[in-house]
Chains A and B, each alone.
Chain A
């Protein structure tokens, strides 16, 4: 049975005409990792916030179905969301420094979270989790103010606090983007190990393909608020079909061999109201792409929302 099931999720922010997220569908089984990739503005973070009931006030969320661990997440009360965030779903956000109140000692903030979950007695457990994620002196770290610690340490603490509730799902939104590269690697290593150790189900959101390819079992590629391609990581990132995914992979810098091909830059404000969202930047664009929304075409374990891309792919394979 799948842990997370999202069907046709659409989100509008207050005062916005076009949706931040349109018709996103994906699912995730227990103990698996889902990577969500896309550039900024693609709706990645909206996915994360929607799954925690953390969308800003005034945002509207519609879906034909969203379920997490047997809980229906559609139209539930604020109280129920709070309960879910205390038991089922936990978050790690992009900027570790901004994730903590600058004016309060970490210990009291951590205790707030434990207390909220009714687990004040878990403090000693937290200390061991902190040690597990590489905080050698938890007492000293927790006795500090956020500005006294490095980003890497704060992100470790964020991860430990997120995990101490033993949530069914951990959502990590760009967990390493604000860190320098050596610390990035360590944080990824921790997530990688915890995935197997704690049988963690993880949604990892990143613009960084190497992060996703390293951790994710399945990948969702987002562009302009839509899911354009979905499937097993090796399929999507190994033999991409959608022209956007191809472009994304081709633009990754390589140490040797051919130089990278940059994606054609996005013209300002160019997310079309109708037709394929990627059409304006696409080299496979056909007449119909500008007029009709591309339908998802089943492909291997997932789907691709691009007819011409699929054709090209088949031609290349044959």
Chain B
């Protein structure tokens, strides 16, 4: 070997060094970024909630209340203080996990959120797993066998799914499968009390699985079918089509041909070599989708009366429950930023060239 070639190996260690010092620095940077974005979101929602021409004290006091009572409520809620003081108080509360009280439910917002979170997480986790798993699988199949009946079918699903708005899909499913024929429950989530299942996690699916009661499990799944189908149908198109185009691009690449030439089996070439490279854009997209999902479930939860964060947010908006609105906004923002920084981490695992 020549000296020049030996030198080129030097790239290696240098690269490793960046790796070893990277994670901590990156993590700190990510955390700082998260704080900045959340603070910005908090400030913005706070300003908006105070600018909007609606009077929370009036709403909280109720229709029957007279001016004195409203003034009393205003004082109780601290809304009579200068906006800057309100802002500082609010931030102070946030640090100790206090989002204030809901004027609608009259309990701390944090309690409401913790109660609603499991139902939303159930929807998000199940639908996201299906979108990711099924979308990637179908995308690979579509890329590998681009012709045939299945490709026509997948194209129809992709176009219809992304073209039809979520609420429309949800309503169609309700009309088609629940309202006229009694195949599936039209709305509502799993009722723990009715099936005598202990509320451990708050998720109907998990709790029924823990109880190992078959009829409860079936019921929990039946409850999930329509909302999950609605979310998956609408969102899988993007994953599927992106996976297909990314995969067919990778399958044209010389390294795929070289691996085939080395006698590597077709299944390994596709599912190990090509897939790993093809996943990058799909992971980005899925990360964004997951980030949005907390905000995205609002419509579905409203359509299916699913008692999660989305439905809570919707009710809060209607009642101008400003503390609740702000809390949901902050959590949605924070989860978006957090998920995105996690996705950046996955990149580095998928592609070693990204540092």
A residues adjacent to B (C-beta < 8 A): 52, 54, 78, 82, 85-86, 90-91, 93-95, 98-104, 109, 112-113, 116-117, 134-137, 140-141, 144-145, 147-150, 152-153, 158, 161-162, 165, 182-183, 186
Contact = CB atoms under 8 A, between A and B. Distances in A.
A100 B258 contact: yes
Given A98-B254, A104-B273, A85 B2 contact: no
Given A148-B15, A150-B8, A85 B353 contact: no
Contact of A136 (B1, B264, B351): B1
A93 B263 contact: no
Contact of A85 (B15, B253, B254, B262): B262
Interface of B: 1-2, 4-6, 8-9, 11-12, 15, 253-255, 257-266, 268, 272-273, 276-277, 350-353
Contact of A144 (B4, B12, B268, B353): B12
Contacts of A98: 253-255, 258
A153 B261 contact: no
Contact of A82 (B4, B258, B265): B265
A149 B8 contact: yes
A93 B15 contact: no
Contact of B277 (A103, A117, A162): A103
Nearest to B351: A103
Nearest to A94: B254
B263 A152 contact: no
B57 to A, nearest CB: 58
B254 A165 contact: no
Main secondary structure of the interface of B (DSSP, over half): helix
A117 to B, nearest CB: 5
15 contacts: A90-B261, A99-B255, A100-B258, A102-B255, A103-B277, A103-B353, A109-B273, A147-B11, A147-B353, A148-B12, A149-B9, A150-B5, A150-B8, A182-B2, A183-B2
Contacts of A148: 9, 11-12, 15
A105 B255 CA distance: 13
A113 B254 contact: no
Contacts of A165: 263
Nearest to B353: A147
Given A112-B268, A113-B262, A149-B8, A134 B1 contact: yes
Nearest to A152: B5
B141 to A, nearest CB: 15
A141 B6 CA distance: 10
A162 B262 contact: yes
Contacts of B254: 93-95, 98-99
B353 A153 contact: no
Contacts of A103: 276-277, 350-353
A91 B258 contact: yes
A93 B9 contact: no
Contacts of B266: 78, 82
A162 B4 CA distance: 24
Contacts of B258: 91, 93, 98-100, 158
B264 to A, nearest CB: 5
A116 B262 contact: yes
Contacts of B273: 101, 104, 109
B335 to A, nearest CB: 28
Nearest to B262: A113
B248 to A, nearest CB: 11
Contacts of A141: 9
Nearest to A96: B258
Contact of A153 (B8, B15, B259, B351): B8
Contact of B263 (A101, A117, A158, A182): A117
Contacts of A95: 254
Contact of B257 (A54, A82, A90, A104): A54
A102 B250 CA distance: 11
A70 B310 CA distance: 70
A260 to B, nearest CB: 30
Contact of B276 (A94, A101, A140, A144): A101
Given A82-B265, A147-B11, A165-B263, 10 more contacts: A85-B261, A93-B257, A98-B254, A98-B255, A104-B273, A137-B9, A147-B353, A153-B8, A158-B258, A183-B2
A85 to B, nearest CB: 4
Contacts of B4: 150, 182
Contacts of B261: 52, 54, 85, 90-91, 93
Contacts of A82: 263, 265-266
B311 to A, nearest CB: 42
A134 B12 CA distance: 18
Contacts of B265: 82, 116
A114 B254 CA distance: 19
